[in-house]
Chains A and B, each alone.
Chain A
């Protein structure tokens, strides 16, 4: 395999697999938050703000994978 092709594959795999985990995590966070709001609609303000905070943490990991994939593609 040519080096450049390998680089492209590496980038795609790094981004694709790296996003998988956070996607599952964000789905679970969102689902649980909806459940919580369904049980106690009055607390929805607090639940939503905490949900966004938790989503940001999960999302950061996906973005980390994205940055790694950019580094693979454009540096070195």
Chain B
């Protein structure tokens, strides 16, 4: 499943006009050259292939994504096994987090029923992005690897969000949920009427702009997360070259904060856009 998504991601790289997919080998060569000359900073834009499974390339980001999923699953089972009527510390913490989120969602969506319906998706996005971002700060991620045959190093692990495939997959998921929930809750014609509106020329133009901005969300969603995590990684490397040992520490603390904020933003934006798409069209709501 993830492999298929990765393939779709590579295709979209080309569709977006980004020469990431086919230029990656070139980048790896450049990086290898730089490493063998003992100079320069090792920056690789694309997740590198570690090995291939049944013809599907398994990249270091994909391995890290699998580890993230495993951590979340283990955590879920650990909490579930100790469920009790009188909660322990762990269960109380998890319950507090979930209740806070569901309360906020009910407030935003103005419906307890809808909040319960969308809660699993929003919470999964938040937890997944959060754990994926924070796991990337463990020692060994990006530094332990195998020889890539050019005198360079292919890291075994890489932050999942530092690969556009992962963020694009998440963005596609939330995009589909946003559109489909609009269609399901409002009905197809009412939902389409939000965007294709012949009541006046201005409304028609506004509808078209909204339609385009809907598709633009796909790009802004995926690039926001990818850009933040990737730029954070590159910044840490660059800073490590300038003031080694000293400056990277506060920078890394800031990146931990950024990882948390990005998880919150991704989940909250999905929630807001769902709210926007299930709202009654303009002109029919009671003012």
Q: Mark A32-62, 1 if CB is under 8 A from B, else 0.
A: 0000000000000000000011001001100
CB <8 Å contact, B261 and A52: yes
Is A67's CB within 8 Å of the partner chain B?
Answer: yes
CB <8 Å contact, B23 and A76: yes
Q: Mark B4-34, 1 if CB is under 8 A from A, else 0.
A: 0000000000000011100100110010000
Is A66's CB within 8 Å of the partner chain B?
Answer: yes
Q: How far is the CA of A1 from the CA of B209 in the complex (A)?
A: 41
Q: Cβ of B106: which chain A residues have Cβ within 8 Å of it?
A: none
Q: Cβ of A53: which chain B residues have Cβ within 8 Å of it?
A: 265, 268
**Cβ-closest chain B residue relative to A52:** B261
Q: Is the interface of A mostly helix, strand, loop or mixed?
A: helix
**Cβ-closest chain A residue relative to B257:** A52
Interface centre among A56, A59, A67, A75 (most CB of B within 10 A): A75
Q: Is the interface of B mostly helix, strand, loop or mixed?
A: helix
Is A9's CB within 8 Å of the partner chain B?
Answer: no
What is the CB-to-nearest-CB distance from A49 to chain B, in angstroms, rounded to a whole number? 9
Q: Cβ of B220: which chain A residues have Cβ within 8 Å of it?
A: 60
Q: Mark B226-239, 1 if CB is under 8 A from A, else 0.
A: 11101100100000
CB <8 Å contact, B19 and A67: no
Q: How far is the CA of A76 from the CA of B26 in the complex (A)?
A: 8
Q: How far is the CA of A76 from the CA of B18 in the complex (A)?
A: 10
CB <8 Å contact, A63 and B30: no
Q: How far is the CA of A45 from the CA of B190 in the complex (A)?
A: 38
**Cβ-closest chain B residue relative to A56:** B265
Is A71's CB within 8 Å of the partner chain B?
Answer: yes
Q: Report the 3 A-B pairs with minimum CB-CB distance, sorted nearest first.
A: A63-B227, A60-B224, A67-B227
A interface vs B, CB < 8 Å? 52-53, 56, 59-60, 63-64, 66-67, 70-71, 74-76
Q: Mind listing 5 A-B residue pairs with CB under 8 Å?
A: A59-B228, A60-B228, A64-B227, A70-B230, A75-B45
Q: A63-B228, A67-B231 are in contact. List 15 more A-B contacts (CB 8 A).
A: A53-B265, A56-B261, A60-B220, A63-B227, A63-B231, A66-B231, A67-B227, A67-B230, A70-B43, A70-B45, A74-B44, A74-B45, A75-B19, A76-B23, A76-B26
